[in-house]
Structure 1
Amino acid sequence: MTDAQATTRPPSLLALYDPQWEANPYPLYRQLRSGGAVGWDEWMRTWLVLGYDEIVSLSKDDRVTGARIESFYAQLPAAAQAEIAPLKSALADMMLFNEPPRHTRLRQLIKPGLTPRFIRQLRPLVEEIADELLDQVVPSGRMDVIRDFSEPLTRRVVGRLAGVPDHALHLLRDWPGLLHEFFTQSRKAVPRLTALRAVFDADIEARRAGDAQDLFSEMIAGQLARADYTDEEIFANFLLLIDAGQATTTHLIGNAVLALVDHPDEQRRLREQPELSAGAAHEFLRYDSPVQFTSRVALDDIEIAGCHIRQGDSVTLVLGSGNRDPEHYADPDRLDVTRRAADQLSFGHGIHYCLGAALAVTEIDVGLAALLRRAGDLRLVDAKPDWLESVNFRFLQRLPITFTPLG
């Protein structure tokens, strides 16, 4: 990094903890990008990758790795390690935090169940659940989008997909992002994981024998017959399915509804042209993704955007910045439900492209279409939305709205 870049770049991504950026971090990203597409963050001790093209390039570069669970865990004090050991074990066996060849092997376990064709079979279920939930709140003309709609919608869909029996669905309620829990060294999720492991173990033999009837068993049956996966690997990726399909998608829908409240013209356009909703799902992901950045570690020296990243350096791909990069998207701070944004960064790129992308798009598409069909003139109850205190996760804690019942 040059001296000029050092003086023009704001001090750190940690500035996101400042209340002025909580509601809208994107002006901060714009300031950060003014110092260059890539730059060193002295406070966080990481390279910030802020430009769209640079994020895509490094997402596909095998000189950086996302296998960072073990290294973070190793630097914790022994007492902290003991408290979050079950969380660490689960994350370390997820495909997301492994590289080839193990990543390839783990990805194959559930890939057959997350193809667009398989997900299309789930669409009637998503539609049914969305309408059931709206039946309960539409007559009153008010609801909390998170509590009354997006969270129970994604919980019930992913519960069906993951094969969680009805008696255990309460374990998925208000699902915490497991990565957030791990990096904040929280043990709140550990009892939940222990209980879910008991549910999982009750069915594992039937799954291995091919006798289980749930969708998760159907999804992995072919791979269990061909490859030797441990129970721990299967459980970890069972959790990944829940984690990605529950917490992230809940807040994709919440953030999209907030964006529509803030943009009544786009709300009206989408209500009048519901056929736009599938494509608009990508625009909502681009405009305000629930996951703002992802971390990597350099395995070799890398030259990019005039910067020299050294082997062992931390690299942070700031997806929220790349999604608003004016070098890639025209007028990037404007929400446009007609924009073609299927190349947005929120699902990742390369081998770590999100396997659950088709399911997430389906749930946003169906959920928003159902809401706009049955609720008019969406308005906020509270002027200031309640965000999770995090520099990475754009999670709304609650989103109370009022509306005019339709139909």
Structure 2
Amino acid sequence: MTVSEASSISVLFDQEWSGKPYELYALLQAEHAIMWDDIMRSWIVLRHSQITELAKDARLSGARIDDFHRQLPPESRATMAPLAAILKDMMLFNEGPAHSRLRKLIRPNLSPRFIRDLRTMIEKLADALLDQVVPTGEMDVVRDFSEPLTRGVIAMIAGVPSHAAHLLENWPGLLHEFFSQSPDELPRLAALRAAFDETADLRQAGAGDDLFTQMIAEQLGRDSYTADEVFANFLLLIDAGQATTTHLIGNAALALLHHREQADLLRQRPEVAANAAHEFMRYDSSVQFTTRVALADIELDDVRIRQGDTVTLLLGAGNRDPRRYADPGRLDLTRKASDHLSFGHGIHYCLGASLALAEIEIAMQRLVRRTWNWRLAQSEINWLDSINFRFLTGLRIRFDH
């Protein structure tokens, strides 16, 4: 395929390119820092330096839910209205004072100290899950390990009632559901909202015994957050802390299958695990891009982005930019890659970054310590049908122990 033929990143839906985004990014990146995509109707920003520059530019807004929702066909617009209403109350899709106000609801207590206090619980849960599968010599890394690990962590933090814990199983990611116009998860959301409202009075009074209530109690006393705002950002905590982290761990395991010498390195030098977590995220992020809307004209590399244009920051391409990382297609767990783009950049930098890094570090360290000589136990690698979310449908391996 030539550069002119690869004029849209939507070709990743084609059989020829399915599951191979980084090959396409390299092809495009060699010719463009930024390009117009006719099919996506968006400017695509491909290089690390331009992505970091634009991610901090106040002339770009993440408040894009209304625009997308208005463009849907009438029937889809009506169906997706409940999910649109939830997403509009998330800090991720707000700017300026509204974003700052919503971010304050959770940020003060998602601190490095808070995460350090969680590490023992994460380690115990990871070991318990491995205790169940290691003796069999075979596991699905996603189904048997990463998904129940992240679900268990989030269930504890979010304080989901035990009778509703099943609602977190196989959490799909609300952004994927909304942008793919899928109503499949609306019943789950309604049931989760009902369970959430059961403890609303305790939460409002700061009297709940779950970590989420403890996290937001002080801020609830300072500002009048609506019940919808609290619920929406509770869901954002689940979305960011479960679905994306589940697949970051799955993608990391797949990367080690292709770089066995790096698995050996992590086994022999467990102290590199914290640094390795950043490299895993750079190498194969579970979220490939984020989208903004231009609030004013912007000049960038001889391109004029006009007010109202959509701008897609292709994080996955920036993470593989050879101008920033030497030999970017090689996994190197000793590489200094903490400036990767997988958590975003600027004011929308992921609040749960410290938690995700801790989970990846612990999960991968435990996994390689207790299993070795991995072999793929499925005929092919299958991915969620999405060009943004790098979610493995499963990763079955056999191993020695």
TM-score (norm 1): 0.96
Q: Does 1:120 align with 2:116?
A: yes
Aligned twin of 2:244? 248
Aligned twin of 2:96? 100
How far apart, in 2, do the equivalents of 1:210 and 1:144 lie? Answer: 40
How far apart, in 1, do the equivalents of 2:191 and 2:110 lie? Answer: 25
How far apart, in 2, do the equivalents of 1:180 and 1:225 lie? Answer: 33
Give the superposition deviation at 1:84: 1.8
How far apart, in 2, do the equivalents of 1:146 and 1:235 lie? Answer: 27
Of 263, 270, 278, which residue of structure 2 is paired with 1:267? 263
Of 206, 213, 220, which residue of structure 2 is paired with 1:210? 206
Paired residue secondary structure (1:241):
helix
Give the superposition deviation at 1:27: 1.2
How far apart, in 1, do the equivalents of 2:365 and 2:306 lie? Answer: 47
Aligned twin of 1:401? 397
Equivalent runs, 1:16-55 vs 2, <5 Å: 16-55=12-51
Q: Does 1:277 align with 2:277?
A: no
Give the superposition deviation at 1:383: 4.1
Structure 2: gaps spanning 5 or more residues: none
Task: Tell me which amino acid in the other structure corresponds to 1:397.
Answer: T
Aligned twin of 1:77? 73
Of 143, 148, 153, which residue of structure 2 is paired with 1:152? 148
Paired residue secondary structure (2:393):
strand
Runs (4+) of structure 1 moved beyond 3 Å?
Answer: 6-9
How far apart, in 2, do the equivalents of 1:260 and 1:383 lie? Answer: 18
How far apart, in 2, do the equivalents of 1:345 and 1:206 lie? Answer: 38
How far apart, in 2, do the equivalents of 1:138 and 1:132 lie? Answer: 10
Task: Tell me which amino acid in the other structure corresponds to 1:14.
Answer: S
Give the superposition deviation at 1:23: 2.6
How far apart, in 1, do the equivalents of 2:79 and 2:369 lie? Answer: 47
Contact 1:8 1:34 in 2 (8 A): no
Q: Does 1:195 align with 2:191?
A: yes
Give the superposition deviation at 1:117: 0.9
Contact 2:12 2:20 in 1 (8 A): no
Task: Tell me which amino acid in the other structure corresponds to 2:114.
Answer: F
How far apart, in 2, do the equivalents of 1:82 and 1:299 lie? Answer: 27
Superposed CA offset, 1:156-202 (max 9, x none): 10010111122211000000110010011101110110011011101
How far apart, in 1, do the equivalents of 2:327 and 2:288 lie? Answer: 19
How far apart, in 1, do the equivalents of 2:321 and 2:187 lie? Answer: 41
How far apart, in 2, do the equivalents of 1:22 and 1:345 lie? Answer: 22
How far apart, in 2, do the equivalents of 1:188 and 1:259 lie? Answer: 31
Paired residue secondary structure (1:62):
coil
Aligned twin of 1:340? 336
Give the superposition deviation at 1:21: 2.2
Paired residue secondary structure (2:157):
helix
Q: Does 1:222 align with 2:218?
A: yes
Equivalent runs, 1:234-383 vs 2, <5 Å: 234-383=230-379
Superposed CA offset, 1:130-150 (max 9, x none): 011001000000000111000
Paired residue secondary structure (1:249):
helix
How far apart, in 2, do the equivalents of 1:231 and 1:392 lie? Answer: 30
- The sequence identity of aligned pairs, in percent, is 59
Contact 1:254 1:399 in 2 (8 A): yes
Paired residue secondary structure (2:343):
coil
Give the superposition deviation at 1:9: 7.0
Superposed CA offset, 1:27-58 (max 9, x none): 10011112221111122211010010000000
How far apart, in 1, do the equivalents of 2:376 and 2:3 lie? Answer: 40
How far apart, in 2, do the equivalents of 1:169 and 1:342 lie? Answer: 34
Aligned length: 400
Contact 1:8 1:35 in 2 (8 A): no
Give the superposition deviation at 1:11: 1.7
Task: Tell me which amino acid in the other structure corresponds to 2:75.
Answer: A
Give the superposition deviation at 1:75: 1.8
Equivalent runs, 1:120-139 vs 2, <5 Å: 120-139=116-135
Contact 2:3 2:27 in 1 (8 A): no
Paired residue secondary structure (1:295):
strand
Paired residue secondary structure (1:387):
coil
How far apart, in 2, do the equivalents of 1:317 and 1:64 lie? Answer: 11
How far apart, in 2, do the equivalents of 1:172 and 1:257 lie? Answer: 23
How far apart, in 2, do the equivalents of 1:187 and 1:18 lie? Answer: 24
Contact 1:9 1:32 in 2 (8 A): no
Contact 1:9 1:34 in 2 (8 A): no
Aligned twin of 1:3? none
Superposed CA offset, 1:277-315 (max 9, x none): 111011010000010111111111001122111111110
How far apart, in 1, do the equivalents of 2:347 and 2:256 lie? Answer: 32
Aligned twin of 2:85? 89
Paired residue secondary structure (1:101):
helix
Deviates more, 1:235-244 or 1:204-213: 204-213
How far apart, in 1, do the equivalents of 2:18 and 2:111 lie? Answer: 36
How far apart, in 2, do the equivalents of 1:264 and 1:103 lie? Answer: 43
TM-score (norm 2): 0.98
How far apart, in 1, do the equivalents of 2:387 and 2:261 lie? Answer: 30
Please report the RMSD computed on the Cα atoms of aligned residues, expressed in angstroms.
1.2
Structure 1: gaps spanning 5 or more residues: 1-5
